[in-house]
Amino acid sequence: MPFDEYLDWMEEVAKECFRVLKDDGSFFFNIGDKPSDELRSLRVAERINKIFRLQNTLHWVKSIAAPEEDVNIGHYKPVNSDRFLNNCHEYIFHFTKQGDVELDKLSIGVPYQDKSNIGRWEKAKQDLRDRGNNWFIPYETVQSQKVHPAMFPTKLPEMCIKLHGLQKGKLVVLDPFAGSGSTAIAAKKLGCYYVCFEKDLEYCRIAEGLLNEAMSEQEANRLIKPLYSFGIS
Ligand SMILES: C[S@@+](CC[C@H](N)C(=O)[O-])C[C@H]1O[C@@H](n2cnc3c(N)ncnc32)[C@H](O)[C@@H]1O
């Protein structure tokens, strides 16, 4: 659809999400850019910010290369252009109602590289620090038999849910654009309720299949807690 229409539509989506979100809830909005239009996602975020307050901007880093440090990992899709760099990240905008939701940063924390920091700073009581806003999450290997063109790794919604805070009580996770159900799978793994919408019946079937698969894996691992699922509609 034309971009201006898309902006209006996203504002409507944001209004509806605001309506159903708890006052201390989080709204994570994932959007990727076209290399030829790097301002697109920021313009969408600006529009959503009319409804919500932008609390954090995260970068989902899909591939990272620092050969000098012996690092070169993740998904790389060559760009057919001499003008644009390969786009190796997508945005996750974290919106809340007032911009003041306390997060469980250490639930996705990382160990200190310099252990002498532990105890030196008042906040550094254990070997775990805030991961920051660059999240390196490569695609899962299942991408070789991709069942949805825009699937994200389940680790991405898992980290968002954990960051929001599993200790806040049993969470209800809602995804209005469920696709292959990655968010529902993450929610289910973490023992949350989930509600998903997807307009394409074929993707609903795929999501249900992947959810069942994920559930049987969990059962096999004896990790599962009894869950009540609203399912995919
Ligand atoms: C970018 S994909 C989401 C992929 C998902 N994150 C995953 O990991 O599979 C967006 C999905 O939204 C669905 N969609 C688009 N418009 C919709 C609408 N009005 N209501 C419900 N679903 C919609 C599309 O069919 C598509 O599957």
Q: Where are the domains of the chain?
A: 1-138, 149-233
For residue 221, the model assigns a pLDDT of: 60
Nearest CA to ligand 1 atom 7: 151
| Average pLDDT rounded to a whole number, residues 35-59 | 95
pLDDT at 48 over 50: yes
Ligand 1 pocket check for 150: Cβ under 6 Å:
yes
**Top-confidence residue, 123 or 230:** 123
Q: Which residues contact 26 (CB under 8 A, 6 or more apart)?
A: 55, 94, 95, 96, 101, 103, 160, 163, 164
| Average pLDDT rounded to a whole number, residues 87-111 | 96
Q: Do domains 1-138 and 149-233 have the same CATH topology?
A: yes
For residue 225, the model assigns a pLDDT of: 42
| Average pLDDT rounded to a whole number, residues 53-81 | 91
For residue 62, the model assigns a pLDDT of: 94
Best residue among 198, 208, 232 to mutate for probing ligand 1, ranked by most atoms within 8 Å of CB = 198
**How many H-runs (helices) and E-runs (strands) does the chain carry?**
5, 8
Fold of 1-138: Rossmann fold (3.40.50)
| Superfamily for domain range 149-233 | Vaccinia Virus protein VP39 (3.40.50.150)
Identity of the amino acid at 43: R
Best residue among 152, 174, 177, 185 to mutate for probing ligand 1, ranked by most atoms within 8 Å of CB = 177
Give me ligand 1 centre to Cα 124, in Å.
Answer: 40
For residue 151, the model assigns a pLDDT of: 87
pLDDT at 216 over 80: no
Q: Percent of the chain, pLDDT > 70?
A: 91
Which parts of the chain fold into alpha helices (H)? 3-20, 40-48, 155-164, 182-189, 201-220
pLDDT at 145 over 70: no
Give me ligand 1 centre to Cα 125, in Å.
Answer: 42
Give me ligand 1 centre to Cα 154, in Å.
Answer: 15
Ligand 1 pocket check for 148: Cβ under 6 Å:
yes
Q: Percent of the chain, pLDDT > 90?
A: 69
pLDDT band at 226 (very low <50, low <70, confident <90, very high): very low
pLDDT band at 227 (very low <50, low <70, confident <90, very high): very low
pLDDT digits (tens, 9 = 90+) for 159-206: 999 999 999 999 999 999 999 999 999 999 999 999 999 999 999 999
For residue 76, the model assigns a pLDDT of: 80
| Average pLDDT rounded to a whole number, residues 88-108 | 97
pLDDT at 210 over 50: yes
pTM (whole model) above 0.85: yes
